[in-house]
Structure 1
Amino acid sequence: MRLGLFTGCLPRLSLEAIAEWSARQGYDALEVAAWPTAATEAGYAAHIDVAGMTGDEIARVRGVLTRNGLTLSAISYYANNLHGDDAERERIHRHLLACVDAAAALEVPCVGTFVGRDASRSVADNLARAQRHLPPLVEYAAARGIRLVIENCPMESWHPDGYPGNLAYSPELWDWLSGLGLYLNFDPSHLVWLGIDPIDALRPRLERGQVLHVQAKDIEIDDRARTRYGFFGKTVGRQAPEDVGWWRYRVPGRGLLDWNRLVDTLYAGGFDGVVAVEHEDPVWGGSEERIKQGLQIAAGTLRPLIL
């Protein structure tokens, strides 16, 4: 098992700068964010230009990794693959397939993404649409030796009322994903606020070989605030769909997850991939310095556990 980080939290830094800093902090691998380069103006990260994956770009990326003793665990583009607008969904799919091509060129085993959802349709309608739209993506990746790993984030910010916007948030849906040939990028933090025990959910997925990548993120829950707002969160005072008011994500070591048990469960289940820190902690955010401090806290928590 190796310790990695997801580069999306440092969108303004180059891949070179992130690799050099990460290696010094004891990280072994990078899950690289690869949004379209045009999206960087909106704050998204494009640390690899998958649309311009020339021989020179391949050599550049390999050189960065070699110099810093790092590996790539995944190339990731977390977008709504069931977007309700046909033209936008097709654009998303084209870029995801470019990520697959880049992963194949760089010999990276996984491409990370979401399933998504058309928020104007019912869950049943979305599941039926997924049966049409997702298999061609899986087949394209498989033909190139790449597997698509789906993060189990509910993406409540994609729904106008804060309901799940990514149909991959529960073990029931993971069974459905498996039937489509999709794998998991397992993130335990999302399960806690949904009332799902992450260890109990993880064990059978390891037995079935469905977990190919892990994201490490923690969570903090305010029980008194939940008593005020209820499970679905703020209503009158909500500033954004994700502004639920009673929970927030934290870096590993600053939340309530038992990382010793989680990592031990991964080892017991035979997982030998990358555990990549995903930094979405508002306490350790807001500036490059604070984000890096958060990543140092995460490394200090996880590094002694990942041998």
Structure 2
Amino acid sequence: MKLGVFTVLFSQKPFEEMLDYVAESGLDAVELGTGGYPGTAHCDPDVLLEDEGKLKAFKKAVEDRGLMISGLSCHGNPLTPDSAFARSSHEAFVKTVKLAEKLEVPVVNCFSGTPGDHEGAKYPNWPVAPWPNEYREVLEWQWKEKIIPYWKEWGQFAADHHVKIALELHGGFSVHTPANLLRLREEAGEVIGANLDPSHLWWQGIDPVAAIKILGREDAIHHFHAKDTYIDPEMVNRHGLTDMQSYANLQDRAWIFRTVGYGHDMKEWTDMISALRLVGYDYVVSIEHEDALMSIEEGFRKAVENLKPIITKEKLTEMWWV
């Protein structure tokens, strides 16, 4: 495996300065934002797709520092009833797939999107209960009319460009559990997989190790985010896991994002790394830092310090003891 970082947290650093910082930190890979919520601070498809010289220089800058690009990330909502945002999210995805092919990056990370509840809807609708019955009816309409048709078409587009789609299992979006992901994969093909981020599994009550095994059996993990979540049992009893408060309400929230090792102990993280290897995942573990209790640099350093000793890098050998 390789250790990398989602560089959106270093958006204020110029591209090559960011690469130097990542390389000096002893990492192997970078994951770059290409639009949508992550922005384009370090990787603008509009620039790189139009200028072959800039594209080659861009790729060389990464390679000269001994780094690789693990994925291009364009998280947005191509299915939202907000037509302007849906269009910009879709366009970012299309450009990102084309750029990934040119850069020989095998994975595009994004969200599945969330539709409204009917053709004339104004806002996305995220049904999470089977009763009253209209919620279940909304959910089935969304999958039949929006989610499956979109990803069948654009999953094939990605496959035609030799790129895999890694959907982040994030609450608020239609694909947010292993079961959702496998349902879509069955409809749209093996091009669809997970960008598995344990931080979003924990707050949904899903054990990441179990999720890794469920998805790994289907070879459905295309990318992995390393981010932690602290769950406050007292506040869960008050607000529930679907806490709708602002992330800024740190003392009152049921859960908050933390850097690796500050929400769950390192035994749980070693179990995840072992589970990834068990199911044959031998790609990048990409640090994502959204810890409101630490600065950008300190949260990043702590994650690196905690992950470096537990990442298994050497290739498996024969079982000499058998």
Q: Give the structure-2-normalised TM-score.
A: 0.83
- 1:23 is matched with 23
Task: Report whether the alignment pairs 1:210 with 2:207.
Answer: no
- 2:44 is matched with 49
How far apart, CA to CA, are the structure 2 residues paired with 1:145 and 1:272?
A: 19
Give the residue type in structure 2 aligned to 1:292. E
How far apart, CA to CA, are the structure 1 residues paired with 2:69 and 2:12?
A: 19
How far apart, CA to CA, are the structure 1 residues paired with 2:168 and 2:40?
A: 17
How far apart, CA to CA, are the structure 1 residues paired with 2:46 and 2:40?
A: 14
Give the residue type in structure 1 aligned to 2:214. P
Give the residue type in structure 2 aligned to 1:250. R
Are the equivalent residues in 2 in contact too, given 1:12–1:45 (CA < 8 A)?
A: no
Aligned residues: 284
Tell me the SS of whatever aligns to 1:124. helix
- Picking from 109, 126, 131, the partner of 2:106 is 109
Are the equivalent residues in 1 in contact too, given 2:148–2:184 (CA < 8 A)?
A: no
How far apart, CA to CA, are the structure 1 residues paired with 2:26 and 2:282?
A: 18
C-alpha distance after superposition, 1:56-79 (max 9, x if no partner) = 221122121122110001011100
How far apart, CA to CA, are the structure 2 residues paired with 1:283 and 1:25?
A: 21
Are the equivalent residues in 2 in contact too, given 1:10–1:45 (CA < 8 A)?
A: no
Q: 1:178 to 1:67 in 2, by over 3 A?
A: same
Summarize the alignment of residues 154-165 of structure 1 with structure 2, pairs less than 5 Å apart.
154=171, 165=172
- 1:125 is matched with 141
- 2:290 is matched with 280
Displacement after TM superposition at 1:123 (Å): 2.5
- 2:254 is matched with 246
Tell me the SS of whatever aligns to 2:223. strand
- 2:159 is matched with 142
Q: Give the structure-1-normalised TM-score.
A: 0.87
- Picking from 206, 216, 222, the partner of 2:232 is 222
- 2:177 is matched with 170
- 1:305 is matched with 310
C-alpha distance after superposition, 1:208-243 (max 9, x if no partner) = 110011000011011111122233326xxx447998
Which sections of structure 2, spanning at least 5 residues, go unmatched? 117-122, 126-137, 314-322
Displacement after TM superposition at 1:255 (Å): 1.3
- 2:318 is matched with none
Which stretch of structure 1 is more off in the superposition, 292-301 or 113-122?
113-122
Task: Report whether the alignment pairs 1:191 with 2:196.
Answer: no
- Picking from 48, 55, 59, the partner of 1:58 is 55
How far apart, CA to CA, are the structure 1 residues paired with 2:47 and 2:204?
A: 39
Summarize the alignment of residues 256-267 of structure 1 with structure 2, pairs less than 5 Å apart.
256=264, 258-267=268-277
Are the equivalent residues in 1 in contact too, given 2:258–2:292 (CA < 8 A)?
A: yes
Tell me the SS of whatever aligns to 1:23. helix
Which stretch of structure 1 is more off in the superposition, 84-93 or 214-223?
84-93
Bigger radius of gyration:
2
Which stretch of structure 1 is more off in the superposition, 2-11 or 84-93?
84-93
- 1:77 is matched with 74
Task: Report whether the alignment pairs 1:296 with 2:301.
Answer: yes
Displacement after TM superposition at 1:170 (Å): 1.1
How far apart, CA to CA, are the structure 2 residues paired with 1:66 and 1:230?
A: 46
How far apart, CA to CA, are the structure 1 residues paired with 2:260 and 2:8?
A: 17
How far apart, CA to CA, are the structure 1 residues paired with 2:238 and 2:226?
A: 29
Are the equivalent residues in 2 in contact too, given 1:148–1:183 (CA < 8 A)?
A: yes
How far apart, CA to CA, are the structure 1 residues paired with 2:200 and 2:109?
A: 16
Tell me the SS of whatever aligns to 2:280. coil
Q: 1:22 to 1:84 in 2, by over 3 A?
A: same
Displacement after TM superposition at 1:112 (Å): 0.6
Identity of aligned residues (%): 28
Which stretch of structure 1 is more off in the superposition, 81-90 or 193-202?
81-90
Give the residue type in structure 2 aligned to 1:216. A
Displacement after TM superposition at 1:246 (Å): 1.0
- 2:128 is matched with none
Q: 1:278 to 1:240 in 2, by over 3 A?
A: closer
Tell me the SS of whatever aligns to 1:248. strand
How far apart, CA to CA, are the structure 1 residues paired with 2:115 and 2:254?
A: 26
Which sections of structure 1, spanning at least 5 residues, go unmatched? 155-164, 285-289
The Cα RMSD (Å) is 2.0
Q: 1:239 to 1:32 in 2, by over 3 A?
A: closer
C-alpha distance after superposition, 1:253-284 (max 9, x if no partner) = 21115111110111111111101001111111
